[in-house]
Amino acid sequence: MIGAEGPIPLAHYMGFANAHYYASRDPLGVAGDFITAPEISQMFGELIGLWLADLWMRAGRPAASYAELGPGRGTLAADAARAMRAAKLVPPIHLVETSPVLRTAQRERLPAATWHDDAGSLPEDGPLLIVANEFFDALPVRQLVRTAGGWREHLVGWQDGRFVPVAGEVPMDALVPEVLRDADAGSVFESSPASAAIIAQLARRLATQGGVMLLIDYGYAGPAIGDTLQAVRRHAYADPFVDPGSCDLTAHVDFASLAATAQAEGVQAFGPVGQGEWLERVGIGVRAEALARSSPTRAGDIAAARVRLTAPGAMGQLFRVLALVAPGWPVPEGFA
């Protein structure tokens, strides 16, 4: 298509590539391309379930639905559901997933769930308890690059049998925040209109229906200069412009911009705080001890998983946790 019609925006390239990538495989696990927190330990989903149940109890136990964006193998949702059930919270489960392969994996763990192609068809009656772990990093980013002639969109072209990033011709200076406009030539400014659209839509739902959204991902507090587009295959970095659709394309999430988008719709934002700090505050220490007591032969693995999820040099600091809470709902645990 690019060869025939010319370069397309990087965001479109990323969208096409990831749609094919996720539709054609289960990318998770040792035999796949990458591993996520819920696949490292059941503690991750359990603590999220208990955190949701605590907030729900303090909100007066309304009839709520659980919704998850990009649930992978369904591991987090299954672990969270078990923990919520122990706290007498048994919500209907709604999964937003486009990949048929991953839907099959999810159905094995959550046979009673309801599936959605996008967040627009989530239930409209009653509060939503929404979770998104490593979902937003997979959504397309737009990149603007500073050229000698001003800011231009990064496009992807096809030259000599290869995909190559090229600068567009239309001036894009107005889309770059004023504080960043003077950045050096070659600087890249990223934003994710697709992510902002989903956050705005769900924040509006939270503001009218009640509930909460817990968003966990790797990212930063923008706006900032930086090219964070990356490709991962078999647990190693790859070239994003080689073999699109065969590796996972992601970008870091701008938490400040997502929080601001949500706040503009009237919801409260808490965080982001580091994943390690958040997990310690909501009780990963107590949970790890209890698990180790009930299966002493696994004590070493459980301790190692806790370190992997919380240590600053592992997932503890790069990954962050943001909570978007409906107006009138209580202050969530773990943020201060």
Q: Which residues bind ligand SAH (CB under 6 A)?
A: 18, 22, 28, 36, 38-39, 70-72, 76, 96-99, 102, 133-135, 138
What's the closest the beta carbon of residue 228 comes to ligand SAH, in angstroms? 16
By C-beta, is 99 or 209 nearer to ligand SAH?
A: 99
By C-beta, is 71 or 240 nearer to ligand SAH?
A: 71
- In the bound state, the residue with its beta carbon closest to ligand SAH is 70
Q: Which strand ranges, in their side-by-side order, compose the sheet holding 248-250?
A: 236-238, 230-233, 248-250
Pseudo-torsion of CA 174, 178, 184, 189, nearest 10°? -60
By C-beta, is 145 or 322 nearer to ligand SAH?
A: 322
Burial of 5 (C-beta count, 10 Å sphere; 0-12/13-18/19+): exposed
By C-beta, is 102 or 206 nearer to ligand SAH?
A: 102
Which tokens hold the place of 225? 């200069």
What's the closest the beta carbon of residue 49 comes to ligand SAH, in angstroms? 14
CB contact at 8 A, 9 and 145: no
What's the closest the beta carbon of residue 170 comes to ligand SAH, in angstroms? 26
By C-beta, is 97 or 190 nearer to ligand SAH?
A: 97
Instruction: Using alpha carbons, select from 134, 24, 42, 130 the residue that is nearest to residue 79.
Output: 42
∠ Cα 120 253 232 (to 5°): 100
By C-beta, is 269 or 315 nearer to ligand SAH?
A: 315
CB contact at 8 A, 196 and 258: yes
Q: How many CB atoms lie within 10 A of CB 26?
A: 16
CB contact at 8 A, 308 and 275: no
Separation between Cα atoms, residue 63 and residue 57, nearest integer Å? 11
By C-beta, is 46 or 134 nearer to ligand SAH?
A: 134
Cα distances (Å, whole numbers) of residue 48 to 93, 245, 332:
15, 31, 12
What's the closest the beta carbon of residue 315 comes to ligand SAH, in angstroms? 11
What's the closest the beta carbon of residue 278 comes to ligand SAH, in angstroms? 15
What's the closest the beta carbon of residue 225 comes to ligand SAH, in angstroms? 26
What's the closest the beta carbon of residue 80 comes to ligand SAH, in angstroms? 11
What's the closest the beta carbon of residue 313 comes to ligand SAH, in angstroms? 20
By C-beta, is 43 or 102 nearer to ligand SAH?
A: 102
Q: At what angle do helices 284-294 and 42-58 cross, to 10 degrees?
A: 130
